[in-house]
Chains A and B, each alone.
Chain A
């Protein structure tokens, strides 16, 4: 496989469920990201990992818990979500460097619906 792969593509979960989103990148990049995309809102950065260390946490509620076991894999663990958390969750990777940014490569996203 090439690029950035996300699973599952669609997820419906109740407010009391626990689920995880998975992302894998095959580009040799050293930085990985979680973004949230809601209707009529800009993409919101949730988490950034560089060389497996979290460098950005944009005040995301604790019901979202990221995990980055290595530079190729990224998870987003979900628990006790709210209906307003329903959105498209996008994983991205880049070849990070100090000063400025390199382009992001996105996965196909997970469409999450919280009932």
Chain B
């Protein structure tokens, strides 16, 4: 049984549009939620983290968390071709144990 689920994509959006990436998780005790971006052939880099229900905004990125629905999402406003990458959702259910989803591939079309 998968613990963190993401649609593998690819998700294609036109340049300038909003990209919406979604993630569900199975462990109700999860406390910390992360979004990482991974370019092809590169290692993951942190985009956002969120610990509390609601929205958290950082520039063009907004992370949304709904613990009751066990759902976390990432919105990318004004999408750019440079945002084309695989986005990994990660969830922590306890002390330093972080579980990753398989990632959603995003393609921003110029």
Contact = CB atoms under 8 A, between A and B. Distances in A.
Interface string B43-76: 1111001010000000000000000000000000
Chain A interface main SS type: loop
A110 B5 CA distance: 26
Interface residues of A, number: 26
A100 B100 contact: no
Contacts of B103: 42
Contacts, number: 66
Chain B interface main SS type: strand
Interface residues of B, number: 26
Interface string B12-33: 0000000000000000000110
B56 to A, nearest CB: 13
B22 to A, nearest CB: 16
B96 interface: yes
Interface of B: 4, 8, 31-32, 34, 36, 42-46, 49, 51, 88, 90, 92, 94-103
Interface of A: 31, 33, 40-43, 45, 48, 50, 55-56, 90, 94, 96, 98-109
